[in-house]
Amino acid sequence: MIVKAETAPYVEAFAQRDGTDEPHWLAARRAAALANFGDKGFPTRRQEAWRFTDLRPLQRAAFPPVSGDGSAPFALDAYRCPGATHRLVLVDGKVAPALSDLGALPEGAFLASTAETLAEAPDLVAAALEESDAQGNQPFASLNAAFFTDGFVLALEPETVLERPIEILHLTSAGAPRSHHVRNLVRLGTGSRAVLLETYAGAGAHWTNSVTALHLREGAALHHARLQDESAEALHFAVNRAHVGRQARYRSFVLTLGGRLSRQDMLVRLDGEGAELALDGAYLLRGEQEATNATFVDHAAPGCTTRELFKGVVADRAHGVFLGSISVRPEAQKTDAHQLNKNLLLSRRATVDTKPELEILADDVKCSHGATVGDLDEAALFYLRTRGIAEGEARRMLIEAFAADALERVEPAALRAYLAHHLQAWLGRGEEGGR
Amino acid sequence: MLEIRNLHARIADGREILNGVELVVGAGEVHAIMGPNGSGKSTLAGVLSGRPGYEVTEGSVLYQGQDLLALSPDARARAGVFLAFQYPVEIPGVNNMYFLRAALNSLRRARGANELDAGQFLKAVRAKLKLLEIGDDLLQRAVNAGFSGGEKKRNEIFQMAMLEPKLAILDETDSGLDIDALKLVAGGINKLRAPDRAMVLITHYQRLLDYVVPDRVHVLSGGRIVKSGDKTLAAELERHGYAAYEAA
Ligand SMILES: Nc1ncnc2c1ncn2[C@@H]1O[C@H](COP(=O)(O)OP(=O)(O)OP(=O)(O)O)[C@@H](O)[C@H]1O
Ligand SMILES: [Mg+2]
C-alpha cells in the first residue's frame, strides 16, 4: 500500500493501537475502514463535494487519536438544557460518568455510551457501522470507524416514547492537538418518539470527528437539534447518515457557531412512503472561520416531503459553504421537496459559496430550491437608529431576526430556546470591527 | 428649538436637492411644510434625521443650540428628535414590542432614567394604544411587516407617543389615511403639543391642518422655502396650487 503523506500519522497510529480485547468482527471492520481511508486519502478540492473546503488547518498539524479518560473537570452550566433530561456527557471523546445523569429511562429505552454498548449489546454498535465505512467516499467517516472508542447509543423499542429530551454533551479540554472519533447510533423502533439535543463545545485546537447513524422505523419521530460551539481553533467534522422509514418524521437542526474549520455532512434517505424530513440549520461565522453544511437528501420512496432551510451569517473574513443536493428517484412520485439557503454577509471580506441542487427523475413532484446572498438592510438599520437604538444594537437585532427565522421549526420550545440563547450569546461577542 | 440656515445638500450623483433652506421653529410651535412632489421635503426630513446618502455642502442646523448634523442618527433620537417616515420600513423578524421597548429604554438610559421592565412597558403601551385605537395584534407582529398603509402611519404616531420627542418631523403622516384614522392621528399629534415641544408637519393637504392648526406654513419648492405665512397660506395653496412658486 502506498501511504499518502497526510494519512501516514493515522495509519501508523492504527498499527500501534491496542485492540486486543476487541471482538474479531470489529477489528476486521476497523482494518477495512482504515484501508479505505489510506487508499482515498484526504479529500481534495478536485472532488465536487469538497471544492470549497480549505483543509489546510487539518493538514498543517497531526491530530493523534487519543481519547481522554473522561475525568477532566468541566462546568456544564453554560451548556445545560433547562429542565429535566436524560444526560450523557463525553469529555475528550470518552464518556464521563461523574458528569452524566441518565435518570430513569422508561422500559424499552436504551441509552448508553458506545463503549458500554460494545460490551452489552454489540449488535447495536455493528448497526452504527456501515458498508460505506469500508468503501465509500467519506474518508473521515472511515477514519472514524478505524479509531472510535466511544460515543452514545440511543435505541428505542417499538412504541416507546421518551418524554424528556436526551441531552448529549461532547466536551473537550484544552491541551495538545489530538483527534476524537466518536461513533453514535440512534435507532428508533416503529412508532417510537424522542427528542435529542447534542452539544459540542470546549477548548483547545483538537479535531472532533463524529459519525452518527440514525435509523427511524415506520412512524417513528425524532427531533434532533445540534449545537456546534467548539473553540475558535478547533476542527469539527460530523457525518450524519439518516434512514427515515414509512410515515416517520425526522427534524434536524444544526447551529454552527464554533470551530476554525467545520463541516456537517448530512445524508438522509427517505426510504419509506410518506416520510417527512425537516432539515434546517444556521451558521454564524466570524474571524477566519470556515464552515460547510453539506446536505444530501435521497427521495427513494413516494409521497415523502422535505423542508430544508439553512441560514448563514458571515462576518469578518469568514467563509460559509452550503451544498444542498436533493435527488428524487423515478419511483418517488408525489415528492414534495423545498430547499432554501439564505446568507447575510456582514463584511466585504466575508464570503459564501452556495450550491443548491435538484436532481429529479420522477415526473409527478413538487420541488424547488434557491439561494440568496445579501447585506444587512440599510433602510431597516436606519429606521431602528432613528428610534434611538445604537448602531451596534440595531445590527444585532437585524442579524438575530435573520438567523432566528431558521429556528422556527425547532421543537419542543425548550430546544428552540436553548439554541436561541446560544445564538444571542454569539451576537453578544461582537464582530472584529472594520467592515 | 430648531434653526436651519442656508442648508444645501446633494445626493450621490451630485445633484443638489436642498438649495439654501432657511427655517426657524421655536419651542411650542407647529410648522407645516408644503410643496410640490420632488421639491425636497423628504430630503430635508432625511438630512435632519441623519439618513445616509446625503451630503450637506453648506449651511448649518442648530437643535437646542447644538450642531445637529454632527450627531449620529441614533444620537439625534436620544437628543429628542423624531422622524415619522413617509414610507415606514418593514423589518421582518423584529417584533414590534421588542423593538419599541429597546428604543424607549435606550432613550431612557440617555436621560438617566431607569429602564422599563416588560410589565412596566406594557402598562405604558396600553395607555397609548387606546389613544390611537391600535389593536394588540399589531404589536405582536414584526415591525411594519405586512401592515396596511394606514396601519404603518398609525404605528409611526404610536411610536412618537411612546418616545415623547422634543422635535417631531412628520413626513406625510396624513397621506393614505381614511378620515377616521386621520382624526385619530391628528388627535395623537395634538395631545403631544406642548410648550417645550416643536413639530414640523410635511403635508400635501389642508385637511390635516384643519385638525392640527399650524403656527406657520411654508412652501418648499426647488429645494428652498419660497414662501411663508400663517395658516391661511395652506388654504390659499389648496385653491391655487403651486403654479405661482414653480419658477423659484
Ligand atoms: N437618495 C436619493 N437618491 C436619488 N434621488 C433622490 C434621493 N433622495 C431624493 N432624491 C431626489 O430628490 C428629489 C426630491 O425628493 P424628495 O423625496 O425630497 O421630494 P418630496 O418633496 O418629499 O416629494 P413628495 O412630495 O413626492 O414626497 C426628487 O427628485 C428625488 O428623486
Ligand atoms: Mg416626500
Nearest to B198 by CA among B24, B49, B8: B24
Q: Could you give the CA distance from residue B192 to residue A358 in angstroms, rounded to a whole number?
A: 58
- Lowest mean pLDDT of A21-30, B89-98, B132-141, B223-232, name the range: B132-141
Per-residue 3-state assignment (H helix, E strand, C coil) for A209-274: EEEEEEEECCCCEEEEEEEEECCCCCEEEEEEEEEECCCCEEEEEEEECCCCEEEEEEEEEECCCC
Antiparallel, parallel or unpaired: β B30-34 and A366-375: unpaired
The count of C-alpha atoms lying within 13 angstroms of the C-alpha of A308, restricted to the half-sphere facing its C-beta, is 31
Q: With 50 as the cut, is the pLDDT of residue A434 above it? A: no
Instruction: Return the C-alpha cell found at B115.
Output: 429602564
Nearest to B89 among A383, A390, A397 (CB): A383
CA A177 to ligand 2 center in whole angstroms:
61
Alpha-carbon gap: A381 to the closest alpha carbon of chain B (Å):
9
Contacting residues of B for A404, CB less than 8 Å apart? 93
Quick one: pLDDT band at residue A419, thresholds 50, 70, 90? very high
Q: If you average pLDDT over every residue of chain B, what do you get?
A: 92
What is the mean pLDDT of the segment spanning B128-141? 82
Do B137 and B193 meet the contact criterion of CB atoms below 8 Å apart? no
Subunit contact A380:B89, Cβ cutoff 8 A: yes
Q: How confident is the model at residue B248 (pLDDT cuts 50, 70, 90)?
A: very low
* Candidate from A222-236, A308-322, B176-190 with smallest mean pLDDT: B176-190
Secondary structure of A68-102 as H, E, C letters: CCCCCCCCCHHHCCCCCCEEEEEECCEECCCCCEC
What pLDDT, on a 0 to 100 scale, did the predictor assign at position A3? 64
User: What pLDDT does B142 receive?
Assistant: 94
| Helices and strands of chain A, counted as H and E runs | 10, 19
Three-point CA angle B19, B20, B23, nearest 5°: 130
Query: CB distance from A408 to chain B under 8 Å?
Result: no
Look at ligand 1, atom 18, and give the residue with the nearest C-alpha. B40
Residue A426 to residue A419: CA distance in whole angstroms: 11
Give the CA-trace dihedral at B139, B142, B146, B149, to 10 degrees. Answer: 60
Mean pLDDT to the nearest integer, A79-103 = 92
pLDDT band at A346 (very low <50, low <70, confident <90, very high): very high
CA distance A111 to A302: 33
Amino acid identity at B10 = R
| Chain-chain contact of B91 with A405 (C-beta, under 8 angstroms) | no
Instruction: Assign A1 a pLDDT band (cuts: 50, 70, 90).
Output: low
* Among candidates A377, A383, A393 on the partner chain, residue whose Cβ is nearest the Cβ of B102: A393
For residues B93 and A302, give the distance between their C-alpha atoms in angstroms, rounded to a whole number.
Answer: 35
Quick one: closest CA in B to A391, which residue? Answer: B74
Return the closest-CA partner of residue A262 out of A226, A234, A304: A234
> Which of A10-24, B8-22, B100-114 shows the lowest mean pLDDT across its residues?
A10-24
Q: What whole-number distance in Å separates Cα of residue A197 and Cα of residue A415?
A: 7
| Mean pLDDT, rounded, for A40-60 | 90
CA distance A193 to chain B (A): 31
Residue of A47 and A310 predicted with greater confidence: A310
Out of A388, A404, A405, whose CB is closest to B107?
A388
Which residue CA neighbors atom 19 of ligand 1 most closely? B38
Q: B161 to chain A, minimum CA–CA distance in Å?
A: 12
Q: Shortest CA distance to A284 belongs to which of A241, A314, A251?
A: A314
Residue A176 has pLDDT above 70, yes or no: yes
Give the per-residue pLDDT at A290: 97
Tell me the mean pLDDT in the region B214-219: 94
Please give the torsion angle defined by the CA atoms of residues A55, A26, A296 and A248, in that order, rounded to the nearest 10 degrees: -150
**Interchain pair B49, A404: CB under 8 A:** no
* pLDDT at residue A67 is higher than 80: no
> Helix, strand, coil shares of chain A as percentages rounded to 5?
25, 40, 35
- Minimum Cα–Cα distance from A379: chain B residue: B89
Q: Mean pLDDT for chain A?
A: 93
pLDDT at position A108 is 96
Q: Which ligand is nearest to the CA of B33?
A: 1
**Out of A13-27, A193-207, A261-275, A349-363, which region has the weakest mean confidence (pLDDT)?**
A13-27
* Protein residue closest via CA to atom 6 of ligand 1: B11
Residue bearing the CA closest to ligand 1, atom 7? B11
* Residue B120 vs residues A52, A388, B129: alpha-carbon distances, Å: 51, 19, 14
Q: Give mean pLDDT, residues A174-196.
A: 95
* Pocket of ligand 1 contains residue B53 by CB under 6 Å: yes
Enumerate the domain spans of chain A: 8-428
pLDDT tens, position by position, B63-101? 999 999 999 999 999 999 999 999 999 999 999 999 999
State which of B10, B17, B200 you would mutate to test the pocket of ligand 1, scoring each by most atoms of that ligand within 8 A of its C-beta.
B17
The better pLDDT of the pair A389, A8 is held by: A389
